[in-house]
Amino acid sequence: MFISMVAFYFALMIGIGLLSWRRIKRIDSFFVADRRGNTVFITGSLLATIIGGSSTVGMAGRGFAWGLVGAWWMLVGVAGLILLYFLFAKTIRNCGLFTLPELLEKQYGGSVKLVASLVIVWAWLGVIGGQIVAAGKILNTLMPGSLTLLMTVSAMVFIAYTSLGGQISVIRTDAVQSAIMIAGIGVCALFSLQQTGGFAVMQSRLPADFFSFPVNSSFSGQTLLEWSVLIGSAYLVGPDIYSRLFSARDGTTAQRSVLLTALTMIPFAFAITLIGMTARVLAPSIPAEEAFPYMIKAGLPHGINALVMAALLCAVMSSADTVLLTTGTIFSMDVINDIVRRVRGTGLSEHSLLTVSRLALIFFGLLALGFALRFREVIGLLLFGYSIYTAGLVIPVVLGFYREKLKLNIRGAMAAVVGGGGWVILSKTVLFSRLELTKIVPVSAGFSGFLLSLVLLFLGSYLFGRHTRSGLNDPRGTP
């Protein structure tokens, strides 16, 4: 039954991609779905994007290992979205842009767009890889076989429908996936709690520390602070999140969708964590990241488990397609097209840009698959990607909205992007460990890179000349 259901789901997604492909005539269609997204579609797509491999397989694994504090993986994202709602959501949509690096160029001018694009592409490969690993582990738990083959098949499916239909395909598939996902997670949480005998039984069989919140012995206040910076700020300034805002039909729709998404995420953060905790009661010896798939297979009635399995797979695929599209769009629009414009004075034609974008999606999808096959760990790959991105991009983008008042310029922005992101990349190299720099810096590389980016933005701006006028001044209104 599982095999036939998965085959039907994969065929449905590719079918939507083929139907969407016929509507792609212009880059507006491929990159931002003609900017026609209403509140239902944008909210559904945001939910489908956010509740992915990290928020299902990964977060249930944190619940399995740590208890209730595992919910913070998603809750710090809620905080980031609420800040986005109040500060920037309407402004971002009203800019009428395609990508986040274009926003940086509008804020600071010059070549910062190209540098930021390369940092984002590198960082987001880790995020795509994490989703591929999650998809493979889900399928491997329910249909034991070759993990390599299952990861490869999953990757090929979302690469196919994303490259065919672009943003139209992604938003349409996300609408279907988010509905299945919400129903499936809710059903799984209720049945999982019933299987364990309720909260009283769980409290008697799990360490008391598992029910401590907001911190416990496995999750300190420092870890919460670092998660808030590294993960939460990626929701405040995220290329995948912003791609949804650019696709909304107006600023009010974008703002409303962000708030609805944040509020919906709160109960699901605890529901997914609870699923991981129930798995710890029923099967304490399984690997943590197999907690959610295990509860689907062993804890749910036949038939219902197929629905929830579809929901879990939807969650992963819907995140993977969005991040892949974002990566391909940024590379084609902000790297290739920008280089061509600099060389010959004019950019690629719309037809050529669409072709390059589709080829970029295929290339980066396969490259991310290589990452996934090499590392095979969900949270590790995601933290790698988020750390590089957050350290390099969040500070210059957020403070770029206040650039005039703070007297910031492109030199400072370049220093922040290269220095912050570069520090995290350096921290993952053999050179870093040999120099034992981790003993000098008492916090994670991502968090220290974030602070370094802040220092470099101001230092570079003040040391290297006066600022020039910005195209974005008011963080709450139309620029």
292 versus 303: the higher-pLDDT residue is 292
Element (H, E) at 170: helix 147-196
Q: If you ran DSSP here, which 8-state letter would residue 468 be given?
A: -
Provide the number of structural domains found in the chain: 1
pLDDT band at 370 (very low <50, low <70, confident <90, very high): very high
The residues with which 216 forms a beta bridge, in sequence order, are 219
The residues with which 248 forms a beta bridge, in sequence order, are 37
pLDDT band at 314 (very low <50, low <70, confident <90, very high): confident
- In angstroms, the CA 315 to CA 188 distance is 14
The residues with which 312 forms a beta bridge, in sequence order, are none
- In angstroms, the CA 474 to CA 469 distance is 13
Burial 272-299 (b: 16+ CB within 10 A, else e): bbbbbbbbbbbeeebebbbbbbbbbeeb
State residue 91's pLDDT score: 94
State residue 1's pLDDT score: 62
Q: Which two tokens stand for residue 279?
A: 């798995």
State residue 2's pLDDT score: 66
351 vs 236, 357, 365, CA distance in Å?
33, 10, 21
Q: Given a cut of 80, is residue 99 above it in pLDDT?
A: yes
Tell me which amino acid residue 179 is: A
The answer to which of 310-314, 323-327, 412-416, 469-473 has the lowest mean pLDDT is 469-473
Q: Given a cut of 50, is residue 110 above it in pLDDT?
A: yes
Residue 196 domain-assigned?
Answer: yes
Residue 102 domain-assigned?
Answer: yes
Residue 458 domain-assigned?
Answer: no
The residues with which 219 forms a beta bridge, in sequence order, are 216
Residue 13 domain-assigned?
Answer: yes
Q: If you ran DSSP here, which 8-state letter would residue 226 be given?
A: H
The answer to which of 55-64, 153-162, 166-175, 322-331 has the lowest mean pLDDT is 166-175
Residue 298 domain-assigned?
Answer: yes
**Are the C-beta atoms of residues 99 and 329 closer than 8 Å to each other?**
yes
- In angstroms, the CA 80 to CA 389 distance is 15
**Are the C-beta atoms of residues 441 and 226 closer than 8 Å to each other?**
no
Angle in degrees, 0-180, between the axes of helices 304-330 and 2-21, rounded to the nearest 10: 40
Tell me which amino acid residue 208 is: A
Range of the domain at 270: 2-379
**Are the C-beta atoms of residues 108 and 351 closer than 8 Å to each other?**
no
The residues with which 37 forms a beta bridge, in sequence order, are 248
List pLDDT tens digits, range 229-283: 888 998 999 898 999 999 999 999 999 999 999 999 999 999 999 999 999 999 9
Residue 449 domain-assigned?
Answer: no
Q: Given a cut of 50, is residue 166 above it in pLDDT?
A: yes
Q: Given a cut of 70, is residue 477 above it in pLDDT?
A: no
CATH of the domain at 66: 1.20.1730.10
User: Whole-model pTM?
Assistant: 0.84
Task: Please give the mean pLDDT across all residues of the chain.
Answer: 85
Q: Report percent pLDDT > 70 for the chain.
A: 92
- In angstroms, the CA 248 to CA 267 distance is 25
List pLDDT tens digits, range 30-84: 888 889 999 999 998 898 888 865 678 888 999 999 999 999 999 999 999 999 9
Task: Give SS3 for 53.
Answer: coil
State residue 439's pLDDT score: 46
